[in-house]
Structure 1
Amino acid sequence: MSRFLFVVPPLVGHINPAAAVAGELAARGHEVAWAGHPGLLGRLLTRQDPVFPVATPEEKPRPAGLRGFAALKHLWEEWFVPLAEAMEPGVEQAMTRFHPDLAVVDQQTVAGALVAERSGLRFATSATTSAELLGAAGTPKVDEWIRDRLGELRQRIGSTRAAYDPRFSPLLTIAFTTVDLVGPYPDPGGPVAFVGPALAERPAEPGFPWDWIDAEPDRPVVLLTMGTVNSEAGARFLSECVEAVRERARRLRAVVADPGGALGEEPFRDHDVLIARSVPQLALLERTAAVVCHAGHNTVVEALSNGVPLVVAPIRDDQPAVATQVTEAGAGVRVRFARADRESIGAALDTVLDNPVYAAAAHRIGESFRAAGGAPAAAAHLEKLAIDA
């Protein structure tokens, strides 16, 4: 049996797919350990795998209104690069103490790739979003700017003999999507295994009011979620979404995931709207007619896995790229986050709910996900790579 070390950032959407794959590897008899934020891993993992703690920098809030290259520049300079430098000592200690046969490194924890390369450890990349795979389409200067930042990081914490892009292992990149959704993509310099979403078992949400969900089966439920957005703009958008549903109260109800309390201090429910700090998203999507979201990769693929069409309102980072994939696949409608109001959001909901082509496209993408194999397929690829060492 082999030993696998998962190196992950302190981001829920990046840990959940890795956890599904790790669970599959453990079920096959392999040893699994983690290098990451111990508190977050402790909340998200359902298994008692060893966790090697790593330091993480304090995330600096991005100035309101940052979009495009300005937002990307801030993300790299104020988060990805400091994260790599903070994680480097802990990642090195994890590799030294655990002696893995293979590291499985999240694409955005560049420290994992750079420490592995300088240590001579083989690693695979875990790509939980397809945005890096697609690159900055049509903007080669942006790609060049990112490569320069990666080169500077490599000089400090990697091997100066290496020349590949550390966001992509030269041995294997596991992409948690399919070509049916991604579309054409440039060669990243190494093999890519498209396995579709890896949906992990998650801790239960005690006290979630399933009775409210089941009370009116003839009135479909719409899920409204914007990730961890908790700004004034996020509150405005969610409020407009709620009003769009209330205007359709004879035919719709809404569950609002509001982890930051953007809509108020306390959870709330009435006949038409349920607002909760957290929701059992995977289970809820099995009973959901549509999703309104920020085009976060995990929410999108989880919705499509259930054949649920989307209204997407991307804000920044990888979200515009994922939103484009959704609309080009015919599985959803895009609205503008900063300008959308209850009329435009409501019209988009009417479109995806009333026109069956959107649900059909969502089902088609979901079928491609199931055919790709998910966590078992990813585990099989990693097993082979570890054995071939």
Structure 2
Amino acid sequence: MTRFALVCPPFWSHVRAFEALGEALVARGHEAVLVLNHGGAALSRSARVPAIEIAGEAGEARRHALAGRQGVFATVQEAARRTDALCRHAPGLLGDLGVEAILADQTEPAGALLARHRALPYLSVASALPTDPDPAIPPPYLGWPFDPSPRGLKRNRGGARVADLVLGPQRRVVRRWSETFALPGAPPERGLSPHGTLSQTVDSFDFPRTGNRIFAVGPFRGAEPEWIAPLRRTEERPLVFASFGTLQGHRLGLFRRIAEACRRLGLRLAIAHCGLLTAAEAATIDAELVADFLPQRAMLREADVCVTHAGLNTVMDALEMGVPCLAIPFAFDQPGVAARLSYRGAGLALAPRRLTTWRVETALARLLADPAFALAARRIGADIRSGGGSRRAAAIAEQLVGTPARRLEELRA
């Protein structure tokens, strides 16, 4: 039996993924605890994986929907504060809990810092797209296409340099705590474990990668109730499911344009705005069903197309059901997810700026008329279903702790 600490940012999708990993570890006879910033425990749902908050100021987990450059800098500043708080308050907590290994979210470098500080084995976890460096792959927050040519490699290097500048506040926090903890070698700015990364992607969805650092096991999912979709497709009217996730569901104007495009095409439309619209705002959307929350996986079993912000969890759910996507990415790794959808032929991507009803209508019509999109989605979906998900990820983590020097090829067997 090993006691794992799971360190991730206090965001809904990340907590859900780490809880699924923790529950899979518990099922294998281990103990797991979520270590979160102040306010993050409110997101916890698991009875078997307790969530413990560190000390800190209220508002560590606050959400905002700032757009453009202002939103990027605000997001990076918040991330730096969360990292600093974890490094300041979590070392003693990990000792009190008797933690023996850490699963560290790639977007929260404090996990790697804490593991190295306490000389614990740790494994990186990519709840979003993996950030493991590969010269042929653009940074995940850019929607650039895959281009392994010399020109593409040069472009990617430039993108990485710009990203390092943007992430300056968090990188400075990481360097400072590396010095405070007296860690040898370079600061773990990417939070990458020397043993590899557990990823919610599958190889058939990602861009082609070199090396074997990534264990692409598919989405981390826990046990879920079987929901019935409140709206279903008909032979006469295909069904579109639209959701922009828990941070972007306030996009009233975009939802209205999607609804108008579906009306012109004679499609049924269900929208989940995740509680970010008022009842009065939701009533102005001309869709057959508009709700705070809908059972996403149940809806996608019925849907013919998913309109999404290109959040990785939503896209993986859609592809698992064989549903092609119309991606409208806003921030974080969403442009990279959208680029992979296009590269693999399982969807189309549109920029949210200057998004017109005509563009949405044209894209939806193309996704429905060309069976190649659904075929590509089904191919990826088959890999997702056979990837092993959180159960396989837990088995890999278990082996890492038992024999941390074991070669990655043996762990993949």
TM-score range relative to shorter protein: 0.7 to 0.9
The equivalent of 1:197 in structure 2 is 219
Residue pair 1:44, 1:203 contacting (<8 A) in 2 also = no
Residues 120-135 of structure 1: matches in 2 within 5 Å?
120-130=119-129, 132-133=131-132, 134=137
The equivalent of 1:161 in structure 2 is 184
Residue pair 2:63, 2:247 contacting (<8 A) in 1 also = no
User: Structure 1 residue aligned with 2:381, among 362, 366, 370?
Assistant: 366
Q: For residue 68 of structure 2, give the secondary structure of its aligned residue in structure 1.
A: coil
Cα RMSD (Å) of the superposition?
2.9
User: Structure 2 residue aligned with 1:221, among 218, 228, 239?
Assistant: 239
- Which amino acid in structure 1 is aligned with residue 312 of structure 2? H
Normalising by structure 2, we get a TM-score of: 0.81
- Alpha-carbon distance in structure 1 between the residues aligned to 2:44 and 2:300: 19
- Alpha-carbon distance in structure 2 between the residues aligned to 1:368 and 1:192: 16
Residue pair 1:52, 1:94 contacting (<8 A) in 2 also = no
- Alpha-carbon distance in structure 1 between the residues aligned to 2:11 and 2:367: 30
Residues 1-389 of structure 1: matches in 2 within 5 Å?
1-36=1-36, 40-54=40-54, 55=56, 57=60, 59=62, 61=64, 63-66=66-69, 72-76=72-76, 78-130=77-129, 132-133=131-132, 134=137, 136=139, 137-138=156-157, 139-145=159-165, 151-158=171-178, 159=181, 160-163=183-186, 164-185=188-209, 191-202=213-224, 210=229, 212-214=230-232, 219-229=237-247, 234-249=251-266, 252-262=267-277, 264-265=279-280, 273-389=288-404
Residue pair 2:233, 2:239 contacting (<8 A) in 1 also = no
Unmatched segments (≥5 aa) in structure 1: none
**Distance change >3 Å, CA 338–CA 264, structure 1 → 2:** farther
**Distance change >3 Å, CA 43–CA 115, structure 1 → 2:** closer
- Alpha-carbon distance in structure 1 between the residues aligned to 2:210 and 2:373: 27
Normalising by structure 1, we get a TM-score of: 0.86
The Cα shift of 1:147 comes to: 7.6
Q: For residue 161 of structure 1, give the secondary structure of its aligned residue in structure 2.
A: coil
- Alpha-carbon distance in structure 1 between the residues aligned to 2:9 and 2:214: 21
The Cα shift of 1:318 comes to: 1.2
Greater displacement, 279-288 / 159-168: 159-168
Greater displacement, 354-363 / 296-305: 296-305
Q: For residue 103 of structure 2, give the secondary structure of its aligned residue in structure 1.
A: strand
The Cα shift of 1:256 comes to: 0.5
Unmatched segments (≥5 aa) in structure 2: 140-155, 405-413
Count residues with an aligned counterpart.
376
Q: For residue 223 of structure 1, give the secondary structure of its aligned residue in structure 2.
A: strand
Greater displacement, 22-31 / 125-134: 125-134
Residue pair 2:40, 2:61 contacting (<8 A) in 1 also = no
The Cα shift of 1:194 comes to: 1.1
CA deviation digits over 1:125-172, x for unaligned, max 9? 110112523553342422543686555223322344132444211122
**Distance change >3 Å, CA 146–CA 384, structure 1 → 2:** farther
- Alpha-carbon distance in structure 2 between the residues aligned to 1:312 and 1:2: 40
Q: For residue 290 of structure 2, give the secondary structure of its aligned residue in structure 1.
A: strand
